[in-house]
Structure 1
Amino acid sequence: MKVHKFDLIKFSREIFISFTHEAKLNHIVYTFITSKEEVFVFGDREKLEMVLFNLLSNAFKFTPSNGCITVEINVLENLVVTQVSDTGSGVSNQARSKIFDRYYQDNTRHSTTGFGIGLFLVKKIIDAHHGVVDFQSDLGKGSKFTFGLLHGSTHFEPEEIIEDKSMLLSSKVLDVWDDHQALEVEQLANIQEEVDVQTLDITTEKKAILLVEDDDDIRIYIRKIFIDSYLIFEALDGTEGLALAETHMPDIIITDVIMSGGSGLDLCANIKNTPELSHIPVIILTSSSSSEIKLKGIEHGADDFITKPFEKDILIARVANLLKSRTKLQQYFFNEITLKSVDFKISNEYKLFLERCISITERHLDDSDFNIKTLADELATSPSVLYRKIKAISGKTTIEFIRYIRLRKAAQLLIDSEYNISQTAIHCGFTDIKYFREQFTKLFGMRPSDYVKKYKANLSLKHRVIRKS
């Protein structure tokens, strides 16, 4: 047992939120009820995660579509009581006395997947907390599982109680800054205002980070970490965060799980389900170290997790690593355009996007009116959104992107057809032959004539002419 003092409401809400996607998919009315803003208890947070996660997993396993699942927390005189109730299949009479036994499975229920140790662990863990666990059930109508934790810490051995550093994060986060580096909140706000104004008038090579966090101390702390090297945008909740993502198309998003105006998991799901934004990597901050909770986050599309409290170097490294994957994506684009072999994989989403862009552009090779708007219309998006997505994926402007695809087709024609250089240039939409030669040389590292000599000659060696007698 590693016993900490922690806020049971916030702790439970984070686990509750991790099942919201599953509730939506199954059209389940999913409710969290409490009359308290915060309730502090002593307990082993990691083990209690297993308890609540198991109870919710069972509730979803045995509740059909259009059912109801509720998590309710009440404070009694001696106990803090958590209830997980559902309108599922219920527990049979023969199973009631054995439901908490190890390896026991109720074969009368609609699903028997698993090993029968979930509820055994629930009771084992609550017993170790000197708490109580019970259930009520009506077969075919549903179940209510309840566990209660005692107030205070006197029921634990002194050696079981350890200091929880995460409790210090919000209140002392500013103290971890070096005195000579620390900036007042007002100064940072002024810097951010200047950055926001500047972005209206100038461009920057800095990558952009969107911070979505309603805790001022944590948001300021993260801003302080990155503000010298990145362009920072900030939002206080998921709704505002989504709007800023659509406006600024950041290179990466960092968000907390629990926020007053919509969870980070919902924000992540919205980002990944929006075609124009789905390429943006999302890091989720969580107080949970549970692999089950992280798995739920991955189902929402999260690219990475950072467990609070975190070392700033870890966060910096995770951000750099995800942005490096964007660089690999741009290298994939370059290799694909220059017809080089690609020795790493990218997601099908990006691959299909590139293939669609190539296909549309190649269909319009001889169309002198083909432009950014035409490409955007055929992709069912706006030119501005298309620009930001292409820039993020390829590192190129939309005009450069289209020109590269034309040059790619030109390289193929120089090898696979009988067109000469001038005919190839005109066929691919280049009316200025000199400009075509310059751009081809810039992209492929050799003049078109040298490209033909190198690759068409090599290609001819691979073919044998079969003469008819």
Structure 2
Amino acid sequence: FSAKKKSQRLQIKISIGENHYWFDTDILQKVVGNLMGNALKYSPQNSQINFEAEIAKGNLSLSVKNTGVSLTKKELKEIFNRFHQIHSNKRGTGIGLALTKELVELHKGNIEAESSANSVSFHIEIPILETQYSSEEKRKDSIPKPLEEAYQENMDTVEDESKASIIESNESRDIILIVDDNEDLRTYVSSIFDTEFNIVTAANGSIGFQKALKHVPDLIITDLMMPEEDGLKLTENCKTNDTTSHIPILMLTAKAGDENRLAGLETGADAYLTKPFNNKILKQTVKNLLESRRKLQERFSQEVILTPKDISISSYDERFLASLQNVLDNHLVASDFNSKDFAKALGMSRMQLHRKLKALTGQTTTEFIRGQRLKLAASLLQKSDVNISEIGYQVGFNDHSYFTKCFRETYGTSPSEFSKNQSS
């Protein structure tokens, strides 16, 4: 389909017998998908693309050649370098040639690039005999999906980001914001999580920050190196803004080295993984970050009063919760104080405050206000000589029966019984 759109001619020659071979399906699909995707993307109209595969001397030999383009010696030398981009007018190069090279080498193979006056070729050799792998490296329970299906998945990138800002929409799901200038990688990472989470994507740190403010996600996965604003700037912006300071940030980057890892962590990133990443490790890291946040929510819900220093994980969260406490001190007992007034007092939209409180406390804004009123009521009921019938009105409840109902649901007992138990 992609070739027909540009009137490109595909020449495919595969000489592989029916024998049983040993290879990592996931790696091979990513490598072939990337090389073919690049060939189709960067070859001009009416060009020819050749794909050949054969078994030779215990290796799978693959080659992809596209015509109508060429590379200089300098470009050939740098083509597998991380973040090297030859086509400056086109964003992204599939999953990345640097990552492709690392995947091939992870499979104990090698990859080379050649160029003539009118063509560019990539040659790959990957061992495929059982004797070339240890017992620890072999699994026999993997059932590969058809290569056509895997290739189509690789080519089906999101053309219009505005139409796919949120891939799935389900209010009960957590939201993950994925920020990467490589469109294919955004799509790939999204595919790892889109069955469990609502996904929002952005192409750079500047757009990412605006989407973080708009959606207030539960977690952000960002690349380090991006145009306009990189992952470090995105992290700094998020961690220093009251609306987004609580959001865990996972930095994914192909830029290896301790100093880059340190820079990310110093800026406020909560975790750091290098590409190529293991999907299971990525998913477990995300799970751990979200679980850590939920434990803070549980701890908060057990507190009798709001205690910012006990539940925050950064000075910016502490600052926000201090502002929160100040607003509550001044407005909580007013019966007409509602979520709209609360958001306005904090300089946020109602949606931003809802998402922020949901992340920090596990409660909606209305639930939070009611919970704080009940905590204040419980605090007052612990004192002697209290007029129980007046407590509800003092903390902002207009209806005494509703106050009693809410108090019983939260503390498992009526206000009068609670007061007696405290004094006995």
TM class by shorter-chain length? 0.5 to 0.7
Q: Does 1:449 align with 2:419?
A: no
What CA deviation, in whole Å up to 9, does each residue of 1:276-327 have, x standing for no partner?
1111111111224422221111121111101111110000000011111220
Counterpart-to-counterpart distance in 1, 2:75 and 2:244: 34
What CA deviation, in whole Å up to 9, does each residue of 1:120-174 have, x standing for no partner?
xxxxxxxxxxxxxxxxxxxxxxxxxxxxxxxxxxxxxxxxxx9754998xx99xx
Question: Which one of 145, 151, 172 corresponds to residue 179 of structure 1?
Answer: 145
Counterpart-to-counterpart distance in 2, 1:177 and 1:212: 32
What CA deviation, in whole Å up to 9, does each residue of 1:423-445 have, x standing for no partner?
11111111211111111111122
Amino acid of the residue matched to residue 329 of structure 1?
L
Counterpart-to-counterpart distance in 2, 1:165 and 1:314: 16
Q: CA RMSD in A?
A: 3.8
Residue in structure 1 matched with residue 245 of structure 2 by the alignment: 278
Shift of 1:248: 1.3
Where do residues 228-239 of structure 1 align in structure 2 (5 Å cutoff)? 228-239=195-206
Where do residues 159-178 of structure 1 align in structure 2 (5 Å cutoff)? 164-165=105-106, 178=144
Which 4+ stretches in 1 moved above 6 angstroms? 342-345
Shift of 1:222: 1.1
Counterpart-to-counterpart distance in 2, 1:224 and 1:428: 47
Alpha carbons 2:306, 2:325 under 8 Å: kept? no
| TM-score, normalisation: structure 2 | 0.61
What CA deviation, in whole Å up to 9, does each residue of 1:195-217 have, x standing for no partner?
84874xxx521111111112233
Q: Does 1:386 align with 2:424?
A: no
Q: Does 1:357 align with 2:395?
A: no
**Residues 384, 264 of structure 1: CA spacing in aligned structure 2 closer, same or farther, 3 A cutoff?**
same
Residue in structure 2 matched with residue 332 of structure 1 by the alignment: 299
Where do residues 21-420 of structure 1 align in structure 2 (5 Å cutoff)? 40=78, 164-165=105-106, 178-179=144-145, 182=150, 184=153, 189=158, 193=163, 196=166, 199=169, 203-337=170-304, 346-420=313-387
Alpha carbons 1:437, 1:447 under 8 Å: kept? yes
Alpha carbons 1:272, 1:278 under 8 Å: kept? yes
Counterpart-to-counterpart distance in 1, 2:306 and 2:268: 31
Amino acid of the residue matched to residue 40 of structure 1?
E
Counterpart-to-counterpart distance in 2, 1:37 and 1:423: 79
Counterpart-to-counterpart distance in 1, 2:76 and 2:285: 31
Alpha carbons 1:358, 1:405 under 8 Å: kept? no
What secondary structure does 1:278 align onto? coil
What secondary structure does 1:253 align onto? strand
**Residues 303, 415 of structure 1: CA spacing in aligned structure 2 closer, same or farther, 3 A cutoff?**
same
**Residues 292, 360 of structure 1: CA spacing in aligned structure 2 closer, same or farther, 3 A cutoff?**
same
Counterpart-to-counterpart distance in 1, 2:239 and 2:76: 32
Where do residues 432-443 of structure 1 align in structure 2 (5 Å cutoff)? 432-443=399-410
Q: Does 1:425 align with 2:399?
A: no
Alpha carbons 2:166, 2:201 under 8 Å: kept? no
What CA deviation, in whole Å up to 9, does each residue of 1:398-417 have, x standing for no partner?
11111111101000000124
**Residues 210, 189 of structure 1: CA spacing in aligned structure 2 closer, same or farther, 3 A cutoff?**
same
Structure 1 stretch displaced more, 330-339 or 190-199: 190-199
Structure 2, unpaired ranges of 5+: 1-73, 85-102, 112-121, 125-141
**Residues 366, 267 of structure 1: CA spacing in aligned structure 2 closer, same or farther, 3 A cutoff?**
closer
Counterpart-to-counterpart distance in 1, 2:306 and 2:321: 13
| TM-score, normalisation: structure 1 | 0.56
Q: In the comparison of the two structures, how many residue pairs are matched?
A: 298
Amino acid of the residue matched to residue 145 of structure 2?
D
What secondary structure does 2:347 align onto? coil
Counterpart-to-counterpart distance in 2, 1:328 and 1:417: 34
